[in-house]
Amino acid sequence: MKVEQYIDAIQQANTYKRFGKILRVVGLMIESQGPEANIGEVCYIHSSVSTNKPILAEVVGFNNEKIILMPYSAVTELGPGCLVESTGKPLTIKIGRGLIGRVVDSIGKPLDDSKLPKGLSNFTTERLPPNPLARPRISESFQVGVRAIDSLLTVGKGQRIGIFAGSGVGKSTLLGMIARNSGADINVIALIGERGREVREFIEKDLGEEGLKKSIVVVATSDQPALMRIKAAYTATAISEYFRDLGFQVNLMMDSVTRVAMAQREVGLATGEPPTTKGYTPSVFAILPKLLERTGTSIHGTITAFYTVLVDGDDMNEPIADTVRGILDGHFVLDRKLAEQGQFPAINVLKSISRVMTQIASKEHLETAQQIRSLIATYEENSELIQIGAYKHGTNHEIDRAIAFHPKIRGYLKQGTLEHSPLHESIKRMQILLSGGIG
């Protein structure tokens, strides 16, 4: 590099540090007079106690030329007049292959307090979705390793799927199965708003040692500030985008997008947004498409994404579930009734759909899957008559056939959490089942 370029860089460098001071703190919101900063920029808040490290905060709004900040950590030992220093930059994280096998927080720092490996690149967390015309069509199937999905709800590379369920129906277990058994090069797992107890349990029990070797886990527990829970979603998506741009087939799993929406609701209400449906603010419905559209295909690689959605009282039409279902390329519904009957994973095949299955599955595969779905639907329509003994055998050939196949289909759809079922094997077993074999 020439000396002139160094001189130009020195001349253009801003040698001033801009400071403001805190005026008030109300709940999650910190209001300060200055410094000069734009929305999305990170600031340091210097506590009056000299031994404390500066608190990271982000500019989220303005009020009569006063800036509104939200902290990334708990606010302690702050008072009127504490200095607020502008960095002039948005949040950036360090990403690279050295993160594989690590567990990090929302701003990319290792949770075990170890040092980050060398050779990582700086990457901004908030990015625009790819141009729609720069997205190749989904043309290849993506192996999940779960029979019910691979055979009846086939997923494509670059597809975005929602996993809808109430609490305690097996979302985390299903995500662990997908992470261990999928055909992806790398897993990026975002655990957002989880109980602290469940984080280690998921990593050691559901994900396992083998799963962690090809995974990066981003964690923001329920006790952390709302901004940290939102940033966990953006950080996990940014990590996925980084590896997609390198040509990897990435598997992104976010548990759960509902808690991201709840965190955004907290931020929106604190900054003065009006509450709308179920208290959610307009910004919630604005950020969801921006976040979910960032995944998918690109000319370099793919991000196949699984987003879990918590449905209150198993209501599939609540605002967040309805919005997310409209954005994504398919949805899997986990049914509490099936879980109570001991069928795991408790995927309700009739209520679930993969919108790209017809484009990526063979004609023979589609015909076989349709026959299975038809048998399940026939049995469900007449289940009450069958269970109370009101149906007489021989009355309807289709119902007789559905009754005969019902135990075989249930046995086929059941799968142990540590059982691996390759895609081709799942399809073959489904065909054997229909031809009269045991499946």
Q: Provide the CATH number for the domain around residue 78.
A: 2.40.30.20
Does 341 lie in the same domain as 256?
yes
Distance of CA 269 to the CA centre of its chain: 23
Does 277 lie in the same domain as 179?
yes
Does 179 lie in the same domain as 130?
yes
Alpha carbon distance 255, 167 (integer Å): 12
Does 326 lie in the same domain as 188?
yes
Does 278 lie in the same domain as 156?
yes
User: 367: which residues sit within 8 A by CB, 6+ positions away?
Assistant: none
Bridge partners of residue 373, in order along the sequence:
none
* pLDDT at 13 (0 to 100): 67
User: 344: which residues sit within 8 A by CB, 6+ positions away?
Assistant: 170, 173, 414, 415, 417
Domain boundary among 343, 361, 379: 361
For residue 178, is it within any domain?
yes
**117 upstream amide cis, omega within 30 of 0:** no
385: domain CATH number?
A: 1.20.1270.330
Does 357 lie in the same domain as 368?
no
For residue 46, is it within any domain?
yes
For residue 4, is it within any domain?
no
Q: Domain span at residue 228?
A: 96-361
Please count the other Cβ atoms lying within 10 Å of the Cβ belonging to residue 116.
16
For residue 66, is it within any domain?
yes
The token duo for 222 is 């329920």
Q: Is 246 exposed, middle or buried (0-12, 13-18, 19+ CB in 10 A)?
A: middle
Residue pair 61/31 in contact by the 8 Å Cβ criterion: no
Does 338 lie in the same domain as 271?
yes
For residue 5, is it within any domain?
no
Alpha carbon distance 23, 18 (integer Å): 16
Does 283 lie in the same domain as 234?
yes
Does 104 lie in the same domain as 43?
no
For residue 9, is it within any domain?
no
Tens digit of each residue's pLDDT, the chain (439 residues): 567 777 777 776 666 777 899 998 888 889 999 888 898 999 999 887 666 788 899 998 888 889 999 998 877 778 888 899 988 889 899 999 999 999 999 999 999 888 988 889 999 998 989 899 999 999 999 999 999 999 999 999 999 999 999 888 888 889 999 999 998 999 999 999 988 888 999 999 888 888 899 999 999 999 999 999 999 999 999 999 999 999 999 999 999 899 999 999 999 998 889 998 888 999 999 999 999 999 999 999 999 999 999 987 777 788 999 999 999 999 999 999 999 888 999 999 999 999 999 999 999 999 999 999 999 999 999 988 888 888 888 889 999 999 999 999 999 999 998 898 998 999 999 999 998 765 5
For residue 8, is it within any domain?
no
Does 345 lie in the same domain as 316?
yes
Does 407 lie in the same domain as 357?
no
Residue pair 180/194 in contact by the 8 Å Cβ criterion: no
Distance of CA 160 to the CA centre of its chain: 10
User: 273: which residues sit within 8 A by CB, 6+ positions away?
Assistant: 281, 282, 283
Please count the other Cβ atoms lying within 10 Å of the Cβ belonging to residue 102.
18
Residue pair 192/254 in contact by the 8 Å Cβ criterion: yes
Alpha carbon distance 191, 351 (integer Å): 26
Cα–Cα distances (Å) from 253 to 17, 20, 178, 341, in that order, read 40, 39, 9, 27
Total structural domains within the chain: 3
235: domain CATH number?
A: 3.40.50.12240
* pLDDT at 247 (0 to 100): 94
* pLDDT at 144 (0 to 100): 94
Dihedral sign (CA 367, 353, 146, 297) = positive
The token duo for 125 is 């967390």
Domain boundary among 331, 361, 391: 361
Bridge partners of residue 334, in order along the sequence:
347
Domain boundary among 90, 123, 150: 90
* pLDDT at 78 (0 to 100): 81
Does 171 lie in the same domain as 66?
no
For residue 334, is it within any domain?
yes
